[in-house]
Amino acid sequence: MKKAPARFHAGFDGGGTRTTCVLCDTEGSVLGVGVGGRGNYHDIGVPNALASLRAAFEGALKKSGVGKGSIALEACFGLAGLDSPKDIETMTRAVRSMRLPSREGSGRADLVENDWRTAVAGAFIDKPGVTLTAGTGCVAAAQRDSGRTVVRVGGWGHIVDDRGSAYDIAREALYAAMRDYDGRGPKTVLLKLLMKQLGVSEPQGIIARVYTDKMSVSWIASLSPLVGHAAKKGDEVAIEILRKKGRVLGELVVSAASKLKMQDTRFGVSLNGGVFKSGEPLLRPMEETIREAAPLAKIVEAKLPPACGSVLLLLRRAQVPIDGNVVARMQSSLRRATRKAKR
């Protein structure tokens, strides 16, 4: 008699900077963690987004020690850039074409979700809270009622939105640098820092890199840490950029909470993304903006990262009760698997 395939869950978090996959058993224990490249298909195209997903999955599978043989996999893909039904349709069709080595017939349905939904599921499980993600782009998501009611605010792309994102901060730095060069604005160390980072010897070289080299959104976003570096040196222009963006990010949290009428209730705010490494110049005005409108809100650590949030959505679909034991087991096994992935 043929042995039934072992069942596993794969949770993906495909962001503007990198893609993460966690491979779990049906009880939520993390067996392996893998990392791939960028996951927003708007920035890099569908084939490259799929390559990032596959690399992350293969990495998780290898670290787990689970063979590619007789296994049955269910997957949830939490992806950046899924802002319309067309986006969902495009990437649902795309992930079906991946033909993961563990597919169990043609009837299996994967979940394809926007990454803000998987982020809030992981951060707060079934408690009320707001996740604020600020990396290449930025978005806030709020949930209440054990995760049954979820809303999002912002994250509408770098042209019409994403204020407070790494891209937005870097763009402000470029603007400030060229204002300094022209004499239209105050002096700032950002001009020299950007020239050095971009490998140019004169300010006009910055323009050549941006336009002639066709700098991508993620490339520009990668310049944002220079603003935090300049702020630590006391550069007032950089400090003001971060103050302004901190207030904008605080407004995202307040707006998301207000959609669910949470302003006067106690809830957590979880921060996710490289922008928050900018430190106090950004964090203080952000927290002040939040407290003014929602005095009971508190910055907290996410219980689980977005990739694990993807697995939780699979467990919910399977009607598996997600209690404290499941969460604790996932947390402890994730720590072990992460250490293993770094070896």
pTM: 0.86
Assigned superfamily of 152-300: ATPase, nucleotide binding domain (3.30.420.40)
Q: Which residues contact 343 (CB under 8 A, 6 or more apart)?
A: none
Q: How far apart are CA 120 and CA 287, in angstroms?
A: 19
Which neighbouring-strand residues pair with 270? 131, 300
3-class state of residue 244 by DSSP: helix
pLDDT at 147 over 50: yes
pLDDT of residue 319: 86
User: Quick one: residue 239, left, alpha or beta (phi over 0 = left, psi -120 to 50 = alpha)?
Assistant: alpha
Considering the chain, what percentage of its residues have pLDDT values greater than 70? 94
Taking only the tens place, the pLDDT of each residue in 45-65 is 999 999 999 999 999 999 988
Say which residue the tokens 């020690």 belong to. 65
Residue 67's pLDDT band (cuts 50, 70, 90): confident
Taking only the tens place, the pLDDT of each residue in 23-45 is 999 888 999 999 999 998 988 89
Residue 133's pLDDT band (cuts 50, 70, 90): very high
pLDDT at 157 over 90: no
Q: Decide whether 6-123+304-341 matches 152-300 in CATH topology.
A: yes
Taking only the tens place, the pLDDT of each residue in 175-188 is 999 999 999 999 99
Residue 101's pLDDT band (cuts 50, 70, 90): low
pLDDT of residue 224: 97
Say which residue the tokens 């302003």 belong to. 263
Q: Which residues contact 132 (CB under 8 A, 6 or more apart)?
A: 138, 139, 140, 249, 252, 253, 269, 270, 271, 272, 273
Q: Which fold has domain 6-123+304-341?
A: Nucleotidyltransferase; domain 5 (3.30.420)
pLDDT at 103 over 50: no
Q: Which helix (H) or strand (E) holds 323?
A: none
Phi, psi of 269 (to 5 degrees): -125, 120
Q: How far apart are CA 301 and CA 141, in angstroms?
A: 15
Which neighbouring-strand residues pair with 281? none
Closest by alpha carbon to 209, among 228, 195, 224? 195
Domain parsing of the chain, residue ranges: 6-123+304-341, 152-300
Give me the chain's average pLDDT, please: 91
